[in-house]
């Protein structure tokens, strides 16, 4: 069986219905499995166990847990030479083929973990998940979801949505740290990124970073100048363009540096998604609305927010993308969590490759709150084969027959 399954069983405490004993026959009570460590070092830290002594008394131990399939893996991984493993209070294994020692020559207490789960079934689940195509959800978990869509519970979807919003909040905090806590500037840079609509998000963001919002505000009332600055900063402005002379003047005035035009992706793209088109729309938005972040905080009605971000040539679906990825996360990060959640529930469900796959598996998708949760689940668990961190795998595990 793969070691990753033992991690899963230990972390989820799926051994509780079976008595646990050391390889010397001493009873063990697990009071806390500890904190799972995904970095170098022992597998679980700050665990708390109680071990019964020969006289019947109990001793409490607090420390680290290491997990292997075979006890001899301890030596294979050279833990017996590493002082970082001297604080191991329990070596959790399936096969006690060796007595193991720490770097001080002291024996390590071992436990052959007992559990009532069909290990072969989950082994196959994990194997299939690891071999799955990252662009598809067609692995064993997906097949079981197709049979019973309720394996993906409403509670887990809510957890995924909260995690996604908190990830976006962390990203906004990092952006604020780079803009001396200027919310308007951070909002402007984030908005620029999503005006690239995935394909050109990076060059759009870099263009905004190279073009401080304070400079644009000085010419906000003049759409021609505003567009000239942004087009010039994109590196896509040609000398024969009517804006080139204007940009050259403004570039000198503000000591601006354009980005490398090779950053932009141009191939196989609808005209409405061309960088030049999106840059002009971005300029139009900045021209028609000053202090966008402040206005986003003031507005809670979906129609009002759509009107704020609407510009010529941009459809409602594109506007909703900006609301989902910029307006809502910034509201959430600024403390208006319930307003952010209400907006996601009011915005229609997104329609992309990931969501279409979830729908094929029988998942109910009513609004953007659902789609954001499912996108986060796919990106953080399915796409990276992190089945041990997914409640769907846990639900499947619980339904396995007992030995």
In a domain, 324, yes or no: yes
Token pair 């071990």 in the structure block, residue: 51
Q: Are strands 35-36 and 44-52 parallel, antiparallel or unpaired?
A: antiparallel
What are the DSSP calls for 59-124, one per residue?
EEEEEEEEE-SBTTHHHHTTGGG-GGGTTEEEEEESB--S--B-TTSPBPPEEE----S-HHHHHH
pLDDT band at 4 (very low <50, low <70, confident <90, very high): confident
Is the separation of the CB atoms in 383 and 134 below 8 Å? yes
Q: How many independent structural domains does the chain possess?
A: 2
Q: Looking at 82, 116, 150, which one is the last position of a domain?
A: 116
Query: Does 51 share its domain with 141?
Result: no
Is 218 part of any domain?
A: no
Q: For 260-274, how does the pLDDT look when each residue is reduced to its tens digit (9 = 90+)?
A: 998 898 877 788 889
Among the candidates 60, 90, 116, a domain finishes at 116
For residues 307 and 199, state if they share a domain.
Answer: yes
* 96, 121: one domain: no
Residues 102 and 144 both lie in one domain: no
Q: Which residue has the tokens 């999503």?
A: 194
Half-sphere exposure of 289 (CA within 13 A, CB side): 19
Residue 227 within any structural domain of the chain = no
| Boundary of a domain, candidates 116, 142, 160 | 116
Contact (CB, 8 A) for 77 and 84: no
346 neighbors 331 (Cβ within 8 angstroms): no
Residue 230, domain member (yes or no): no
Question: Do the domain assignments include residue 224?
Answer: no
In a domain, 249, yes or no: no
Whether the Cβ atoms of residue 192 and residue 204 lie closer than 8 Å to each other: yes
| pTM reported for the whole predicted model | 0.74
- Looking at the structure, do residues 99 and 145 belong to the same domain, yes or no? no
141 and 271 share one domain: yes
pLDDT attached to residue 359: 94
Gap between the Cα atoms of 277 and 234, Å rounded: 12
Do 300 and 196 lie in one domain? The reply is yes
Please report whether residue 379 resides in a domain. Answer: yes
Judgement on whether residues 307 and 373 belong to the same structural domain of the protein: yes
Residues 126 and 154 in one domain: yes
CA atoms within 13 A on the CB side of 145: 22
Q: Verify that 85 and 8 share a domain, yes or no.
A: yes
The answer on pLDDT for 228 being more than 60 is: yes
Residues 144 and 34 both lie in one domain: no
Torsion angle (degrees, nearest 10) of CA 374, 198, 177, 292: -100
- Which range marks the domain in which residue 304 is found? 117-210+259-403
Contact assessment for residue 256 and residue 229, using Cβ atoms and an 8 Å cutoff: yes
- For residue 244, being part of any structural domain is answered with no
> Both 42 and 168 in a single domain?
no
Are the C-beta atoms of residues 184 and 289 closer than 8 Å to each other?
Answer: no
Average per-residue pLDDT in the chain? Answer: 89
pLDDT band for position 254 (50/70/90)? very high
pLDDT in tens, 121-167: 666 655 554 544 444 554 567 878 888 899 999 999 999 999 999 99
């Amino acid at each position: 069986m793969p070691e990753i399954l033992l991690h899963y069983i230990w972390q989820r405490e799926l051994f509780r219905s079976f008595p646990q004993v050391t390889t010397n026959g001493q009873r063990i009570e697990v009071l806390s499995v500890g904190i799972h460590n995904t970095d170098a070092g022992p597998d679980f830290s700050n665990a708390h166990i109680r071990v019964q002594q020969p006289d019947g008394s109990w001793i409490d131990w607090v420390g680290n847990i290491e997990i292997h399939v075979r006890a001899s893996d301890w030596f294979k991984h050279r833990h017996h030479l590493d002082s970082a493993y001297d604080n191991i209070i329990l070596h959790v294994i399936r096969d006690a083929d060796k007595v193991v020692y720490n770097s001080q020559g002291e024996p390590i207490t071992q436990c052959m973990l007992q559990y009532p789960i069909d290990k072969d079934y989950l082994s196959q689940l994990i194997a299939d998940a690891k071999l799955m195509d990252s662009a598809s959800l067609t692995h064993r978990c997906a097949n079981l979801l197709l049979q019973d869509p309720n394996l993906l519970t409403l509670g887990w979807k809510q957890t995924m949505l909260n995690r996604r919003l908190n990830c976006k909040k962390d990203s906004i905090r990092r952006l604020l740290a780079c803009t001396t806590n200027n919310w308007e500037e951070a909002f402007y840079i984030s908005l620029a990124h999503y005006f690239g609509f995935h394909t050109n998000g990076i060059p759009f963001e870099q263009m905004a970073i190279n073009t401080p919002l304070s400079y644009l505000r000085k010419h906000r009332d003049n759409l021609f100048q505003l567009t000239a600055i942004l087009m010039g900063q994109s590196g896509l402005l040609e000398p024969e363009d009517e804006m080139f002379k204007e940009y050259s003047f403004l570039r000198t005035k503000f000591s601006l540096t354009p980005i490398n035009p090779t950053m932009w992706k141009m191939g196989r793209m609808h005209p409405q998604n061309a960088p030049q088109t999106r840059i002009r729309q971005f300029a139009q938005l900045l021209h028609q609305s000053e202090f966008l972040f402040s206005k986003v905080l003031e507005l809670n009605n979906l129609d009002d927010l759509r009107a704020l971000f609407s510009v010529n040539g941009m459809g409602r679906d594109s506007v909703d993308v900006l609301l989902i990825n910029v307006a809502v996360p910034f509201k959430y990060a600024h403390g208006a969590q319930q307003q952010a959640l209400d907006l996601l529930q009011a915005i229609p469900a997104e329609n992309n490759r990931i969501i279409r796959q979830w729908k094929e598996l029988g998942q109910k998708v009513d609004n953007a709150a659902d789609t954001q949760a499912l996108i986060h689940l796919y990106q953080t668990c399915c796409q990276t084969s992190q089945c041990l961190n997914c409640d769907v795998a846990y639900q499947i595990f619980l339904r396995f027959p007992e030995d």
